[in-house]
Amino acid sequence: SFFSRDLLGEAKSLCTVRDAKEFRLDVFEDEINMLEKEISKGRHETGFCHNDLQYGNVMIDEETKAITLIDYEYASYNHIAYDLANHFCEMAANYHSDTPHILDFDKYPGHEERCRFVRAYLSSSGEKPTEDEVLLLVQAVENYKLANHLFWGLWGIISRYVNQIDFDYLEYARQRLQQYWKIKPMLLLGSSGVVVNSCDSNGYAGVGTREGA
């Protein structure tokens, strides 16, 4: 679960007192409780989710254009909106750069792009989704960004102590959790991070959006 208290407990047990203080680990039990309460207000479809859907785990056949997903290490039944939120948040990363731990949240997809993606996702069943269905899922995805930043922030802290890969896990965690605190006020203002009037068949949003990964 993306609300795993085991993850928080492991992070607390592994990290130094200094790191625990910097990352404010003492407050995250309350943060998890808050997120559970906020997300429980809505209806959320569940399904088998990848939970780590970054571009490195998406393989495309150049001839057939068929898509294959790989690396199911974190896969589980989960809320679909969380999986989509994870995919969008991962667009801030460039794991093939000289600084793969650095995230650029300006690359988080805008509302129009998210509408197009969600519409294509819902259309994959062969039925055309309504505007309300698209908008509802787009808004639900935004609500899961906090849970996603919290999960991968804690993961980064833990990985700093248990993984030997040449990757600045602590800086990665720092950016994820800084983003958590940055966007929290916007997302909790009115229970959604996005205020929109519409999302038409071309994916174009109505007026009034709040952006930020």
Average pLDDT over residues 181-187: 93
- Residue 109: Cβ within 10 Å count: 17
| DSSP conformation class of 26 | G
pLDDT of residue 199: 67
Rounded Cα distance between 26 and 188, Å, is 21
b/e per residue, 15-36, with b = 16+ CB within 10 A? beeebbeebebeebeebbeebe
Region of residue 46 (phi > 0: left; psi between -120 and 50: alpha; otherwise: beta)? beta
Which residue, among 81, 82, 60, 79, has the nearest Cα to 70 in the 3D structure?
Answer: 60
**Above 80 in pLDDT, residue 191?**
no
- Counting every residue written for the chain, the total comes to 213
End-to-end CA distance of the chain: 21
Instruction: Tell me what the pLDDT averaged over the chain comes to.
Output: 88
The β-bridge partners of 76 are 49
Which pTM does this prediction carry?
0.87
Rounded Cα distance between 65 and 75, Å, is 24
How much of the chain, in percent, has pLDDT values that exceed 70? Answer: 88
- Are the CB atoms for 86 and 51 separated by under 8 Å? yes
**Above 70 in pLDDT, residue 126?**
yes
Question: Residues 6 or more apart from 50 whose CB is under 8 A from it?
Answer: 57, 69, 72, 74, 75, 83
- Are the CB atoms for 50 and 62 separated by under 8 Å? no
Question: Residues 6 or more apart from 113 whose CB is under 8 A from it?
Answer: 203
From 135-144, 151-160, 202-211, the region with the lowest mean pLDDT = 202-211
**Above 70 in pLDDT, residue 202?**
no
